[in-house]
Structure 1
C-alpha cells in the first residue's frame, strides 16, 4: 500500500483549513470534497482538475467541521459561532440552521443510515443528536463528569468534547474529550456504556474500522502524539502507534480497512499499515499543521484504490492516490 501525491491546491481558502469530508457520488455527480476554513466559508471541490465548484457562506466565525449525508445530497457545517448549517450540496440552499448552545460544536457526523446527525458539543460535555427528517433535537448524550466537579462548572470540565464517531451499524457513538478519555454510548437506549482510557491529552479525532470483521475496532488520535486502536466491546486497547513528533489532529481509515492515515501538527501526513502496526510512508508537502485527512470512496477505475485528501493551516488542499 502506498500514497502518491497527485494534486495540490495552494490557497484553497483565505485562512487555515481545519476540516474536510467526502460527499458520496450521486446519479448526477461524482464524489466531491467539502472543506471548511477559519475564513468562515465551506468550499466544494471536484478532485478532477481539481476544480472549485462553489463557496458556501453563512457562518460568522470559522468553520471547524463539515459532514456529508450518505445520500450525497445534503451536508452540514459547524462553526465556532455555535451554529450548524445544513444545506443542499447541489444548490447550496440552507435546509436547516441548528443551534447548539451553550458552547461551540467541534465535530459533526451523520450516522451510516442517514437518519441522525451527531454533534460533539464542546463545553456542554455531551453529544447532541438531531433527526434528519424534521431536524429536531432528539437526544443529548451527556459524558459523565470527573468526580468532585460541581455540575455548575461546565466550562471548567475537562470533559469538553472534541470528537465524535458512529459505529458502522449506527448502534453506538464514541466521543473523545479534552481529558484524553473516550466515551462509548448505546444510541438506542441513550445510555453511557463505558470509558476507553490510555490517552493523556485531548482526543481530536475518532474513526471506526471499515473492515467488516473489525466493526468494533476504534482508532483515536490525540495531542499526546499517539494513535490508539481499541476494542470498544472488550474495553481494551489493542495497540498504540507512535511516530508523530507532535499532536495528532486527525485519523481516517481506508475503505479496504487495511490502513489508516493521520495528520499532525508536525506538518506531516502518515500512512500506517495496520498489519505491520507501523507508518510505511511520511508525506511532507504541507508547510504547517495538518488538521484533517479524509479517505474518499473506492475509485471506479480500480476498486482497490481511492483518493486521500489533506488540509492544513498552510491554507492548502492536497490530493493523493491510495493503492
Structure 2
C-alpha cells in the first residue's frame, strides 16, 4: 500500500489481486483437503503477522480472503497445494489489543455472526488473536464440509455458537482425514484457552498435516503413528518390527492390565474435561442464572395473561418492579405485559360489598348498579359521576334492568321483592308481591309489555335448587296465566329481549317454548347435561351454555343442534352477555373476555382485579360495564382489550415508506408516499396529516425506512433484544434475548406482521399490517 500527496490531493493505492475469493470457490462446492489446508495456513501466517503488531482482524470470512495464481519465472509452480496464494483483506473491523481505541465505530457491527467466536457475542472488546483463530476455523470447516458449522437465522446462530458443538465434518464428508478434522475442531473450541494459542501454531499444525506428520491437535493412534514412521524411514521401521516380534510374548501377558490402565486414563480425562467445563460455567453462573430465571418468569407471566389469571400475572411482574435487585433485566416484554395487566379503564367505586348487577339505560347515558349492601346506584355513563344512591331493599340486589323507553328500571333482591323505580324521580313507584324465594333475575321483554322473573330457593331436584318462573303483564302487573307450567318449577330459564322464545332446563333436558296465538307451546326439546342453563342471543337463534369448569357450548335454538364447543380456560363462567347486535358475547369469570359469536374466536381480554359477577354492553357495543366482587363497577373500552392498537391511515394514501416512534411523547408517525400522518397513541386517532414532498422523520425518533422486502429481524436500540418475524410474520413476532437466542414473548396479530421498530426507550414497538397499511402499536406500561 502506498500513500502520498500529488497535485495537492491526498492519495492511497493498494495492490490488485487478479483472482477469486474463497467465497467464490465455495460457490462451486467443497474444496479439496490439501488445497483448503494450504490456503488456511497462508491466512494463518497473515494473521500471525497482524497479531504480532497487536492488531485483531475480527471479521475473517471467505469473502475477505482473496486468491491469485503464484508466478515463478512467468509460470506457476505446478504444486497442487500451491495452486493459489491467499491474501487477507478488509481490516475495517480491526482493533488494537494494546489500546482502548478501535478502528471501528462504537456502534458498528463487530463481525459476521456465523464466523464470530462465542466471546465476541458475550463481550465484543474481549476479542483477541484466539477469536481470529476461531473465525479461520469456521472458514476451514466450510471449505472441507461445504457448509457452515452453524446455520439458521441470526438469533439461532447466536444460540448455537454459544451452546452447541459443531457437527463432526466426517459425519457428512467421510473422505476428510481425521487429523485435519481434529485441527479444524480445535479451532472451534468454545473456550479460547483450548484453541491454538496463536495463529502461527495453527499454521504449523496444518503444514505438519500437509507433510503427513502427526499433528498436535489430536494424538494419533499407535498403528497410525507406526505407519507414518514406516513411510518416512523404511530401514529403521524394519529393525523396529523385529524388536516388536521379539517382545510380543512379554507384551501379551500385560494386555489386560494395559486395557484397565487405558480405561482409567480415559475416565480421568473425561473428569478433567468436565471439571474444566464446570469451572467455566461457574464463572458465568451468577448472571446466567438471573437471566434464565427472568426468561422463565416472563414466560409464566405471559401464560397467566393468556389464562386470565391477573393475580399470578401481577405477582410475577412485581418481582422485577422498580427498586428490586433484578429490575435491570426488564425490557419491552415486561413493560408490554405490565400494560396488559393494567389496561386503562374507568373505575366507579362506592358500593359497600360485592356488586351483583349492572346495566345501561337504552340511550346509553345512565348506568345502574346493585350490590350486596342492597343499594341502587345511578351513574353518568360518560363521566362516571355518581348521580344517586338509593336503598329500598333489605338485602342484596341480584338483578337490575331498564324498560325499553328508559323511564323505569326494575330491581330484584334477596329480600324476595321486585321493585320498580322512576328514572326521573329516582324513587320506588311500585313493589310487586313477595316472591316464593329470593329473586335471581327480572327482565323486560316484548318491547316492555312483559316482565319475566326467576326466584330461587325452592326444594332441590337432583342436587340443584329449583326456581319459580313468572311472567308479568306490565299493563296490569298481574301474573300471566297462559304460561303452561306455572306449577312446574325449573332449574333455570333463558330468554331474549323480543320475548318470543323461552328455554327452560330440568331433568337433563332443554325445552324450547315458542309464543303462538297469544300463548306458549313447546317447539322442541334436546338433551343438555349442564344444570345451570344458558343465555339466548338477541335474535333468539343461538343458545350459549357455560359448563363446569370452563367449557362453552353453542346451540342453534330452532333445532337444538350444537354448533360450537370450546374451552374458555378459567375457573368457571359466571355470566354471559351478548352484544346488542348478537355478533359477540362477553364471559364473566376471573377475567372479562369477548368472543366472536359464530366462530368462537377470542377477540378481547381484560385482566380484572377480582372476579366478575355480571356484565352489560353499552347500546353502541363499544364498551362493557362489569360488576365486580371487589365492590367496584368498571367500564372497559373494547379497543383497549387488544394487546395492540391499530393506527389506520386516511382512506387515500400512497405506499408506506417510513414508520417512526418517539419523536414526540405519545405520538407515532408514518409517511405514505408524500403524505405524513401522525397519531395520538392514547386514542389511536389521526391528529395531524400533511402532504409535503420530501417530508423527513423529526430528530429523536426511532424510525424504520421501508424499502424492498421485510427485514426478518431487528435489534432494539440497546441491542439487548431481537424482534424476529416468525414464518415471515404470519405467526407473529418473537421477542428474543439477543445474547442467548431465547424466546421470551410471542406477539400475535390477527393479520400477521411485517416491518418492526422498537421505541427509543425499548418499552414499546410498532409493526405494520401486511394487507391494509395499518400501523400496529404494541404498548408498554412503566
TM-score range, shorter chain: 0.7 to 0.9
Native 8 Å contact 2:443 2:453 kept in 1: yes
Deviation track 1:201-230 (CA, whole Å, cap 9, x = no partner) reads 423x523145xxxx4222233444222222
Any stretches of 5+ residues in structure 1 without a counterpart?
146-153, 299-304
Native 8 Å contact 2:451 2:472 kept in 1: yes
- Partners of 1:24 and 1:113 lie apart in 2 by 12
Aligned counterpart for 2:478 among listed residues 114, 136, 143: 136
Deviation track 1:147-205 (CA, whole Å, cap 9, x = no partner) reads xxxxxxx7xxxx433x5323x5321123456x7754422343233444444443423x5
Aligned counterpart for 1:120 among listed residues 434, 449, 454: 454
Aligned counterpart for 1:160 among listed residues 491, 494, 499: 491
Deviation track 1:234-272 (CA, whole Å, cap 9, x = no partner) reads 1222212322322211111223332211101xx111111
Residue 43 of structure 1, CA deviation = 1.2
- Partners of 1:284 and 1:144 lie apart in 2 by 43
1:70 is paired with a residue whose SS is: coil
Native 8 Å contact 1:207 1:251 kept in 2: no
1:113 is paired with a residue whose SS is: helix
Which of 1 and 2 has greater Rg? Answer: 2
Aligned counterpart for 2:530 among listed residues 200, 205, 208: 200
TM-score (norm 1): 0.79
Q: Partner residue of 2:376?
A: 42
Aligned counterpart for 1:59 among listed residues 372, 393, 397: 393
Q: Partner residue of 1:151?
A: none
Cα distance, 1:169–1:160 mapped onto 2, change above 3 Å: closer
Cα distance, 1:111–1:15 mapped onto 2, change above 3 Å: same
2:475 is paired with a residue whose SS is: coil
- Partners of 2:452 and 2:520 lie apart in 1 by 13
- Partners of 2:523 and 2:468 lie apart in 1 by 14
Aligned counterpart for 1:308 among listed residues 621, 624, 635: 624
1:278 has 2:601 as partner: yes
- Partners of 2:625 and 2:536 lie apart in 1 by 16
Q: Which runs of 4+ in 1 moved over 6 A?
A: none
1:272 is paired with a residue whose SS is: strand
- Partners of 1:143 and 1:246 lie apart in 2 by 34
Cα distance, 1:223–1:32 mapped onto 2, change above 3 Å: farther
- Partners of 1:42 and 1:259 lie apart in 2 by 28
Range 252-261 or range 33-42, more displaced: 252-261
Residues 229-240 of structure 1: pairs in structure 2 closer than 5 A: 229-240=554-565
Residue 307 of structure 1, CA deviation = 1.7
Native 8 Å contact 2:348 2:634 kept in 1: yes
- Partners of 2:548 and 2:390 lie apart in 1 by 30
Residues 85-100 of structure 1: pairs in structure 2 closer than 5 A: 85-100=419-434
- Partners of 1:101 and 1:256 lie apart in 2 by 33
- Partners of 2:636 and 2:505 lie apart in 1 by 28
Residues 120-269 of structure 1: pairs in structure 2 closer than 5 A: 120-122=454-456, 123=458, 125-139=467-481, 140=483, 142=485, 159-161=490-492, 163-166=493-496, 168-175=497-504, 182-187=510-515, 188-203=518-533, 206-209=535-538, 215-264=540-589, 267-269=590-592
Cα distance, 1:116–1:5 mapped onto 2, change above 3 Å: farther
Q: Partner residue of 1:297?
A: 619
Cα distance, 1:319–1:196 mapped onto 2, change above 3 Å: farther
Residue 13 of structure 1, CA deviation = 0.8
Cα distance, 1:183–1:126 mapped onto 2, change above 3 Å: farther
Q: How many residues align?
A: 286
- Partners of 1:17 and 1:248 lie apart in 2 by 16
Q: Partner residue of 1:111?
A: 445
Deviation track 1:73-131 (CA, whole Å, cap 9, x = no partner) reads 10100001111001111212222211353222211111141101001232364420111
Cα distance, 1:141–1:262 mapped onto 2, change above 3 Å: farther
Any stretches of 5+ residues in structure 2 without a counterpart?
1-342, 459-465, 640-782
TM-score (norm 2): 0.34
Native 8 Å contact 1:109 1:164 kept in 2: no
Cα distance, 1:294–1:202 mapped onto 2, change above 3 Å: same
- Partners of 1:110 and 1:170 lie apart in 2 by 9
Q: Partner residue of 1:319?
A: 635
Native 8 Å contact 1:33 1:47 kept in 2: yes
- Partners of 1:18 and 1:181 lie apart in 2 by 28
Q: Normalized per residue, which structure has more strand?
A: 1
- Partners of 2:563 and 2:371 lie apart in 1 by 34
- Partners of 1:144 and 1:138 lie apart in 2 by 13
- Superposed CA RMSD in Å reads 2.5
